[in-house]
A and B are shown apart, each in its own frame.
Chain A
């Protein structure tokens, strides 16, 4: 056996253990950006998607606002310079007739000048009708029984305040694929999985999830000197462990997947006293301090 053989073996093992690239890539970027306080260290034009339009509108608005402020008549300059902030309503593509009554209207002031009575934002907002862009499946809080978290890849409908269902806006497949690097494009078409995050406060609860969902257990650092063990599953055929670790501050985290078999399993972990890791060790009684029943249905 040679080095290249070993390299191929290692790659084959890695491909089997973690077959997809898109999901871990997103996890890596999420971890990296979360631990530095949010925000990638470089612009990500390929992934911004609809945000580019939002930024463009914001930039245009900022420019117009700056112009308006710069041309706003001062207290000692009674001149008619025309609309200031209200100029935002004349942005190309924004019909003036969409303005609500009074919004952006210029009020005459003594001396002949005019002052905008409403910020331009109130006139720009109606030009973007419809629901906000759909977001990708990220973190989902546990839902009540019978309303388990659904994958957000294709929500069926979104209700308006008046109760009339409207078709949810989802980007067309070609647009969704174009925001992903080509290398990971295959994973963009994979079915989205809901993610349920549990903490120690959820101990004792029963949570219903769907096959394919991801369950994450995040046990925060105990206030005393004890530390959590890595959460485990009582039935790995129903809820199988993906990854898990403990941290030096005593907290623990584990990610479980539901491979598809229905049934129930308990996720449980224990808190061990500090002496359990000391020398000589103490032998604390075995007990379960965290237990959540997961029902896969």
Chain B
């Protein structure tokens, strides 16, 4: 079932059925997105589940959004980025919690030249390029200003010219 159909079915079907449909449709993408943003497999699963859990608690509102999966992606990305920052502080101190970046995430980073970007920059680029979301929406999704997101995309554009959508003003 597509997400649109699932949400449209809220009036007739049960709320949980639509949540399950959205979960089944979007869970793997959200885990993949968060893993690609932070490079941390453990964080990806944990943050994605936390994102869906928060959506579950607010499903009467989130389920009526145009794209509840993007709401989850935003929440999960921000949770993961916050955790990643906290973990990096600790890792810098004791060096015990080194994260092994999964191979397929490494390959994705290489293909998209995301290795040297920060998680927030990766999130900006991936959300913009993956779904073709306008800059304003990406900024809203990530809780950043449009100028900040444009800067992130500009940095990305220098790295992989042509991949980013040409119309930055969208």
Q: Could you mark each residue 13-41 of chain B with 1 if its beta carbon is under 8 Å from any beta carbon of chain A, else 0? A: 01111001101100111111101100001
Question: Which listed segment binds B: A15-23, A140-148, A197-205?
Answer: A15-23
Given known contacts A31-B49, A245-B43, A13 and B163 CB-to-CB distance under 8 angstroms: no
Q: Could you mark each residue 249-287 of chain A with 1 if its beta carbon is under 8 Å from any beta carbon of chain B, else 0? A: 000001100000000000000101000110001011010
Q: Is B161 an interface residue (CB 8 A)?
A: no
Taking a contact as CB atoms closer than 8 A, the residue among A14, A25, A42, A284 that contacts B23 in the complex is A25
| Interface contact A246-B16, CB-CB below 8 Å | no
Given known contacts A13-B31, A229-B94, A32 and B42 CB-to-CB distance under 8 angstroms: no
Q: Is A38 an interface residue (CB 8 A)?
A: no
Taking a contact as CB atoms closer than 8 A, the residue among B44, B57, B102 that contacts A35 in the complex is B57
**Bound-complex Cα distance A12 to B36 (A):** 11
| Interface contact A11-B90, CB-CB below 8 Å | no
A1-B111, A244-B46 given; name 14 further pairs at CB < 8 Å: A1-B163, A3-B130, A3-B132, A9-B108, A13-B35, A14-B27, A14-B28, A16-B102, A25-B23, A31-B49, A32-B56, A41-B15, A243-B45, A255-B42
Q: Which residues of A contact B (CB under 8 A)?
A: 1, 3, 6-7, 9-18, 21, 24-25, 27-29, 31-32, 35-36, 40-42, 44, 181, 183-184, 229-230, 232, 241-246, 254-255, 270, 272, 276-277, 281, 283-284, 286
Q: Which residues of B contact A (CB under 8 A)?
A: 14-17, 20-21, 23-24, 27-33, 35-36, 41-46, 48-50, 52-54, 56-57, 59-60, 83, 86-87, 89-90, 93-94, 96-97, 102, 104-105, 108, 111-112, 126, 129-132, 163
